[in-house]
């Protein structure tokens, strides 16, 4: 496997009247070609900002973005235009992300028209091909967004994102605005397209059941920082960071014999504006000590399993002892 896209110490700050808001702060990871990286965390943790910064919808404050080994952090002009052909996004809201004055065909063809690669006859063929690819009936070609349901609108958004045959696609909560039955259809479509074209995805979501289904690796974000990253199966079987454990405890369980014990987080949420050094989860962590308020960094505790908690091993022993006592 070879790395398609990599971020190193990526930062995105927004200026406010009270100081810089640290939306993404010192984030590093890589995504292999043909794989899906899931990014999870509660609302406001910086997931969407991270994805948009990676594809230059927002400009990075600091750090590096490497695409196929080439630094694309500060590119502009023709180089940026070329990069955007290979890096696209599927937005969360399939209604507000579509131009209400464009028909389905116009929306899907807009990237192709802007690329100036195709004749008029070729554009018609490409429109039919893309509509067939994402499962939109050709009779809807002249329909407007308000005439479609949510699932069809999202299929239009997917068709637009894939029009220029990109290599990397950011999926920014692409099913959160859809009904559960439609969610399954869209998720299956995304996976089928990945298998057919070898696409690389970054799948942003707050739904852990969804990310478990689609991701090869998972990154957990909290207040702009990565707190844990590992292969998907390993994360669900052996979460190490207290925040990850709290997230997983919120997943409903149908096992009446061993139901999941919900972890209720208490304490104040750290302000993202000029945050103090150290672990930003410390004010809500039941295991926090004064040392947690010092500098934190991701450590590899198992092969490919990184955790930003200097007490992770100690916490695992404490919890194992509690479990043994409860079983006695």
| Terminal Cα-to-Cα distance of the chain (whole angstroms) | 47
19: confidence class by pLDDT, cuts 50, 70, 90:
very high
CB atoms within 10 A of CB 146: 9
Range name among 7-16, 110-119, 141-150 with the lowest pLDDT average? 110-119
- 6 in Cβ contact with 206 (< 8 Å): no
Write down the pTM of the prediction.
Answer: 0.91
Mean pLDDT of the chain: 90
The residues that bridge with 118 in the sheet, in sequence order, are none
Q: Report the distance separating Cα 38 and Cα 214, nearest Å.
A: 8
- 177 in Cβ contact with 94 (< 8 Å): yes
Q: For position 54, what pLDDT does the model report?
A: 97
Total of domains in the chain: 1
180: confidence class by pLDDT, cuts 50, 70, 90:
confident
**What's 303's domain CATH number?**
3.40.50.300
**Residue 52 belongs to what domain range?**
3-327
Q: Considering the chain, what percentage of its residues have pLDDT values greater than 90? A: 65
- Whether the pLDDT of residue 323 is over 80: the answer is no
Q: Report the distance separating Cα 152 and Cα 63, nearest Å.
A: 38
CB atoms within 10 A of CB 191: 15
Q: For position 46, what pLDDT does the model report?
A: 93
Q: For position 258, what pLDDT does the model report?
A: 64
What are the pLDDT digits (tens) for 70-81? 999 999 999 999
| Strand duo 200-204 + 305-307: pairing | unpaired
What are the pLDDT digits (tens) for 41-54? 988 899 999 999 99
Sequence length of the chain is: 328
Q: For position 319, what pLDDT does the model report?
A: 79
328: confidence class by pLDDT, cuts 50, 70, 90:
low
What are the pLDDT digits (tens) for 117-172? 888 889 989 999 999 999 999 999 999 999 999 899 999 999 999 999 999 999 99
- Whether the pLDDT of residue 326 is over 70: the answer is no
H helices within the chain, ranges in order?
A: 47-54, 77-86, 104-115, 120-133, 150-162, 180-197, 208-214, 232-237, 242-249, 312-327
Long-range CB contacts for residues 141-144, cutoff 8 Å, separation at least 24: 141/103, 141/104, 141/105, 142/103, 142/104, 142/105, 143/103, 143/104, 144/100, 144/101, 144/102, 144/103, 144/104
Q: Considering the chain, what percentage of its residues have pLDDT values greater than 70? A: 97
Q: For position 52, what pLDDT does the model report?
A: 96
Residues 6+ apart with CB under 8 A from 300: 306
- 99 in Cβ contact with 108 (< 8 Å): no
DSSP conformation class of 163: T
In 3D space, the residue among 179, 192, 88 whose CA is nearest the CA of residue 134 turns out to be: 192
- Whether the pLDDT of residue 327 is over 70: the answer is no
- 104 in Cβ contact with 156 (< 8 Å): yes
- Whether the pLDDT of residue 215 is over 90: the answer is yes
Write out the DSSP string of 13-37. Answer: EEEETTEEEEEEEEEEEEEETT-EE
What are the pLDDT digits (tens) for 53-67? 999 999 999 999 999
What are the pLDDT digits (tens) for 239-281? 999 999 999 888 777 666 666 678 888 888 888 999 988 899 9
């Amino acid at each position: 496997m070879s790395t398609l896209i990599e971020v190193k110490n990526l930062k995105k700050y927004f200026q406010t009247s009270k100081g810089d808001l640290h939306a993404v702060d010192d984030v590093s990871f890589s995504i292999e070609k043909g794989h899906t990286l899931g990014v999870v965390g509660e609302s406001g943790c910086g997931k969407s900002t991270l994805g948009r910064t990676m594809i230059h919808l927002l400009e990075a404050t600091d750090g590096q973005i490497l695409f196929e080994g080439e630094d694309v952090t500060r590119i502009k002009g023709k180089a940026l235009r070329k990069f955007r052909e290979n890096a696209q996004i599927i937005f969360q809201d399939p209604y507000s992300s579509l131009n209400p004055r464009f028909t389905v065909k116009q929306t899907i063809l807009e990237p192709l028209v802007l690329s100036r690669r195709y004749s008029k006859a070729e554009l018609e063929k490409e429109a039919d091909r893309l509509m067939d690819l994402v499962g939109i009936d050709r009779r809807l070609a002249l329909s407007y967004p308000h005439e479609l349901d949510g699932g069809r609108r999202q299929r239009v958004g997917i068709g637009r994102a894939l029009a220029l045959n990109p290599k990397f696609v950011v999926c920014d909560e692409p099913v959160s605005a859809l009904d559960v039955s439609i969610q399954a259809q869209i998720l299956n479509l995304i996976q089928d397209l990945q298998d057919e074209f070898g696409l690389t995805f970054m799948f942003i979501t707050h739904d852990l059941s969804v990310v478990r289904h689609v991701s090869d690796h998972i990154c957990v974000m909290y207040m702009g920082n990565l707190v844990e990253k590992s292969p998907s199966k390993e994360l669900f079987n052996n979460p190490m960071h207290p925040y990850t454990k709290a997230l997983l405890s919120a997943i409903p369980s149908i096992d009446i014999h061993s139901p999941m014990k919900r972890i209720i987080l208490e304490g104040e949420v750290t302000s993202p504006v000029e945050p103090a050094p150290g672990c930003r989860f410390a004010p809500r962590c039941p295991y926090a000590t004064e040392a947690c308020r010092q500098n934190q960094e991701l450590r590899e505790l198992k092969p490919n399993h990184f955790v930003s908690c200097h007490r992770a091993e100690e916490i695992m022993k404490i919890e194992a002892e509690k479990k043994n006592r409860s079983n006695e």
